[in-house]
Structure 1
Amino acid sequence: MSRKGLRGRTARIAGSALALALLVPAGVVSTAAPAPASTAAPAHFVVLGPTGDGLKLTEDSVRAVGGTVVQSWPQIGVVVATSTDPAFADAVRAQPAVDQAGSTRNLAEQLPPTQSTRLEALEGNVDAAAFAAQAGQEPLEPEQWDMRQIKADQAHQVSQGSADITVGVLDSGIDAAHPDLAPNIDSTKSVSCVNEGVPDTRPEAWQPQDPTQSHGTHVAGSIAAARNGVGVAGVAPDVSLASVRVVDDDGFIYPEYAICGFIWAAEQGIDVTNNSYFVDPWLLWCESDPDQRAGAEAVRRAVAYASSKDVVTVAAAGNAGWDLSKPIHDTESPNNGTPQQDRLTGPECHVLPGELPGVVAVSAVGPDLVKSYYSSYGLGSVAVTAPGGDKDQVPDTPSRNGRVLSTVPGGGWGWMQGTSMASPHAAGVVALLRSAHPEWSAQQVTGALANQADALACPENYDPDGDGKPDAVCAGGGTGAGFYGAGLVDALDAVR
């Protein structure tokens, strides 16, 4: 999850895909491009009502005020709707069986996307040909300081995970033909959710169609790149991967996409999801605004439903360098239109999904085991930390590159840094835990992840830019909890 993410459309990748017969859409799906009511397709909304059969009354209320039902999720009492009336949300809120309603895209769908914060940043050029040309047993493993940092190399001497455990990568899609990933891709559990939140299981829908959309493939490699004599090795090289695409071609992850992804994971028996993104268009969703409140509640219900189905949800803490436990001046929301420059957010505003109940939020460290300069943090807002890379922290590797090396589309490998890179390391450790203890509940697994983490004390003077002034204050003293939560995830402890 990120705030300082890949810039522009090619860098806004952070989702995956969803679909299957169990998730047949209810109602009519609009395929026209969004635009003002008078000229083109309608705006998108979530409408919240009762769960189960009672949601049919909510659907009736949507239609009664001129809306169209695009997708219904009776499991959580959420209807995705469209309308050409900008006042639709106000109108439907007064109807029977409607708890809340709100626009999911800030009614700015007709505006071109801005070059705003997306997912984690790709730093430097990717020379896939040079990487691929190297030979030997996991030839690029010497560059993987990140795996050694969490003792994944030692863990692999005990266990590399089980193919019975599936990690759902909610991101921009996974290149299923990549030689380091192909052995572990489960196409039967892969899907795209970016067509208005309606599941689409076609392989071309859940795989990246543009080689520059590398985010999801990079994340997948950190989790489960196979030990097969090619490229790199992931934290859990033998577990299965499901591509759940929740990032559209413009790099946005709207609530309806994320909701679809979480429910898909729950219904398909996926064991853990990695979520290296934030839900658009608000970097922080505030309960004081009825539209934001409805969108946030819809996503919260989807995450809670996944938790009820024993899914562990792991998410990136973000790349804004924010202390999430303090008020935040958010000058980048909404990111699909003109940001509000005077938006000061308080405790009623939250990052989605990272700050939702039950989510394992992950901050990032570099090779020196110090918080990465970009990583958000906060006492009570971060569960654990993991290697996300830092260009300014130099490892003892052949390239001396402090970013994270992993798979990219087209059969290559590349460097990235961000909490998007930290989160999949934690998700990989969760997959190892679930492989070693298949009888454990999701709650037991997340408890073990925290209990086994290696505590990192707060730095005495956190000044990565070297200007003599602290760049962040770490609460928690010797525990380091403000920066690192319970500490650095430990793959070796997970398997023994």
Structure 2
Amino acid sequence: MRMSPRTLGAAFAAAAVTAALVGAPPAGAAPATADGPARTYLVLYKQTAVPSDAADTVRDAGGEIVAAYDAIGALVARSGYSGFADAMQKDVKVEGASATDRFGVQVGDVQADGHDEQAPELPNSPATDGDNLSPLQWDMRQISTPQAHAVTGGSRTVVVGDIDTGLDFTHPDIAPNYSAADSADCSSGAPAPLRPGNDVNGHGTHTAGTIAAASNGIGIVGVAPNVRIAGIKSSTDAGFFFPEMVVCSFMWAAERHLDVTNNSYFADPFLFNCRNDKAQHAIWKAEQRAIRHAMNQGVTVVAAAGNESEDLSHPGIDTTSPDFPPGTEQTRDVTNACVVVPVEIPGVIGVSANGHNEQADSDEGPDYLKSFYSSYGVSAVDVVAPGGDSVYGRNAEAPNGRVLSTYPATTPCLRREVDPNEPSAVYCYLQGTSMASPHVAGVAALVVSRYGDLQNPQNGKMRPGQVEQYVTQTADPQPCPASVPAGYETVTTSLGEPQACQGGPGFNSWYGKGQVNALRAVTHDTGGNG
């Protein structure tokens, strides 16, 4: 059962008190001495619990606990002692300890140009798609959201957590659906209240609008305009997602029993997390535990495949990581022992991107080419959704090829729209798998709204595996393209090889089970796929 706003304040306070008490050093102890600037660390224990003597161990190693996540056996610590990680790893209960300040991947959007089915038990109501900027939403028409909205616009009992750079919850298209009680700022590694002006980057407000912009006559209409949206800030203002922030975000989503989370970022020390690297192993395993814990609490997790035009199932070289501090990138060989988090965690719904480039008409409907930048892979992609394509997806309906969504009024945007009747309602055109993933998160929210069981909130209204089946089984199958436009073949993988689509029309590396279809999802029309 979700906590009330009053209980929410108590939860934040309890979290802070717990951290303070756990980190309080006993009298007479002599901790290691700081010899440099304070850094943040993730400490992973071998057991999925934080031992009772963790505070003593951390203190003796020269640190203090920021947050302890007992359910997954991990904690966040701060220390100015350069030997903190080594000191912690002398504890036989510790599996690994790693500093996280260099382990962030900055969010960015591509700027290149050239259960058995049952009657619904949750309160649902339809929605309309006649807001002032709705004609500009080619992406929504492409996945049949207007038709789905005639069935349902979602349920007010359903909450989607947008784990991102934050959320401008004062935006006129977001405010009607904002859930303050379910929102948090995890940028310190411990949950805190989300304050006004938190989304300096704008990325989180954009993804949130695609999910749940209200059908209110203003601006645009989201995929699920009747559900509630929670902002979970999981990055710095510059858009770097550090591991302790991501762990905090999934633990918060689990505690709040959120129905769906959208994840349009990489949560990793490097683009690829390699199991045989000591520092990376501890961090990706802590993230993995947090994600699986959230799923066990009924949270459906949707994630973007990434914008590197990389075959995630057959990686070769990583030249982009780490990208913080700037200029510290390394070139390294990567193999299938290296995975991308969260999209390659089992149970996560992985999403590649396409544009508004209709390739052919088939018995199943039109096919749309994978966006030139979108990563892909049989181990990563379950469905494809509109993310935009500024090179191969421009046409009369999509003049710049990008996706329009909500944006903070004070954040610069190269391609900006303003509602003609509401000057404070600002929107921005962006492209990326970051824009594709929230379409699927919105469809997942519609599925939970339509088929979820309100009597089972403690375990999620609908199990994540069931939601995934509804989303994938009702997608429009899309085969690998017989050909690609001129120039597309020059967009290569890290190995310099052309992007290759592998598989048949029922499932392949570019499109998974096909393009997500909101109408078929809310009517559970599998069309023989399920």
TM-score of the alignment, normalized to the shorter chain, above 0.5: yes
Equivalent-residue separation in structure 2 for 1:42 and 1:468 (angstroms) = 42
| Aligned counterpart, 2:109 | 120
The answer on whether the counterparts of 1:103 and 1:295 sit within 8 Å (CA) in structure 2 is no
Give the residue type in structure 2 aligned to 1:221: G
| Aligned counterpart, 1:185 | 178
| Aligned counterpart, 1:200 | 192
| Aligned counterpart, 2:446 | 432
- The CA deviation string for residues 84-107 of structure 1, in whole angstroms up to 9 with x for no partner, is 23332222112142222222234x
Distance 1:246 1:453, change over 3 A: same
Distance 1:41 1:100, change over 3 A: closer
Are 1:313 and 2:335 matched, yes or no? no
| Aligned counterpart, 1:418 | 432
Secondary structure of 1:198's counterpart equals: coil
Equivalent-residue separation in structure 2 for 1:468 and 1:82 (angstroms) = 46
Secondary structure of 1:194's counterpart equals: coil
Shift of 1:395: 5.3
Shift of 1:447: 1.2
The answer on whether the counterparts of 1:69 and 1:82 sit within 8 Å (CA) in structure 2 is yes
Distance 1:333 1:141, change over 3 A: same
- The CA deviation string for residues 224-275 of structure 1, in whole angstroms up to 9 with x for no partner, is 1111111111111101000000011232111110011001111112100000
Equivalent-residue separation in structure 2 for 1:329 and 1:123 (angstroms) = 22
Q: CA RMSD in A?
A: 2.4
Pick aligned residue for 1:61 from 57, 62, 85: 57
| Aligned counterpart, 1:12 | none
1:140-151 matches, cutoff 5 A: 140-151=133-144
Secondary structure of 1:424's counterpart equals: helix
Distance 1:466 1:303, change over 3 A: closer
Are 1:345 and 2:344 matched, yes or no? no
Shift of 1:351: 1.0
Secondary structure of 1:294's counterpart equals: helix
- The CA deviation string for residues 328-376 of structure 1, in whole angstroms up to 9 with x for no partner, is 2111111113445331111111111111121111000001211000000
Equivalent-residue separation in structure 2 for 1:289 and 1:62 (angstroms) = 23
Equivalent-residue separation in structure 1 for 2:438 and 2:134 (angstroms) = 17
Give the residue type in structure 1 aligned to 2:87: A
Shift of 1:66: 2.1
| Aligned counterpart, 1:9 | none
Query: Which consecutive residues of structure 1, in runs of 5 or more, have no partner in the other structure?
Result: 1-18, 31-35, 125-135
1:414-493 matches, cutoff 5 A: 414-439=428-453, 440-463=462-485, 465-466=487-488, 471-479=498-506, 481-493=508-520
| Aligned counterpart, 1:79 | 75
Distance 1:234 1:455, change over 3 A: same
Equivalent-residue separation in structure 2 for 1:284 and 1:316 (angstroms) = 14
The answer on whether the counterparts of 1:265 and 1:306 sit within 8 Å (CA) in structure 2 is yes
| Aligned counterpart, 1:371 | 370
Are 1:323 and 2:350 matched, yes or no? no
Query: Which consecutive residues of structure 2, in runs of 5 or more, have no partner in the other structure?
Result: 1-7, 24-32, 114-128, 358-367, 410-424, 454-461, 492-496, 524-530
1:254-293 matches, cutoff 5 A: 254-293=242-281
Shift of 1:466: 4.9
| Aligned counterpart, 2:346 | 357
Could you tell which deviates more after superposition, 281-290 or 308-317?
281-290
Shift of 1:464: 5.7
Distance 1:382 1:394, change over 3 A: closer
1:162-181 matches, cutoff 5 A: 162-181=155-174
Pick aligned residue for 2:19 from 21, 27, 32: 27
Which structure has more relative contact order (CA 8 Å, sep 6+)? It is: 1
Equivalent-residue separation in structure 2 for 1:380 and 1:282 (angstroms) = 18
Are 1:215 and 2:203 matched, yes or no? yes
1:230-241 matches, cutoff 5 A: 230-241=218-229
Give the residue type in structure 2 aligned to 1:330: D
Secondary structure of 1:220's counterpart equals: helix
* Aligned residue pair count: 449
The answer on whether the counterparts of 1:224 and 1:241 sit within 8 Å (CA) in structure 2 is yes
Could you tell which deviates more after superposition, 463-472 or 473-482?
463-472
1:288-299 matches, cutoff 5 A: 288-299=276-287
Answer 1 or 2: which has greater strand percent.
2
The answer on whether the counterparts of 1:373 and 1:464 sit within 8 Å (CA) in structure 2 is no
Q: Percent of aligned pairs with the same residue?
A: 41
The answer on whether the counterparts of 1:119 and 1:276 sit within 8 Å (CA) in structure 2 is no
- Bigger Rg, structure 1 or 2: 2
State TM-score, norm by structure 1.
Answer: 0.85
The answer on whether the counterparts of 2:110 and 2:307 sit within 8 Å (CA) in structure 1 is no
Distance 1:464 1:289, change over 3 A: farther
The answer on whether the counterparts of 1:57 and 1:96 sit within 8 Å (CA) in structure 2 is no
Distance 1:466 1:349, change over 3 A: closer
The answer on whether the counterparts of 1:46 and 1:79 sit within 8 Å (CA) in structure 2 is yes
Shift of 1:117: 5.0
Equivalent-residue separation in structure 2 for 1:231 and 1:173 (angstroms) = 20
Could you tell which deviates more after superposition, 95-104 or 322-331?
95-104
Could you tell which deviates more after superposition, 73-82 or 427-436?
73-82
Equivalent-residue separation in structure 1 for 2:60 and 2:485 (angstroms) = 58
| Aligned counterpart, 2:321 | 333
| Aligned counterpart, 1:94 | 90
Shift of 1:285: 1.2
Distance 1:21 1:343, change over 3 A: farther
| Aligned counterpart, 2:379 | 380
- The CA deviation string for residues 467-495 of structure 1, in whole angstroms up to 9 with x for no partner, is 68983100003335110111111100122
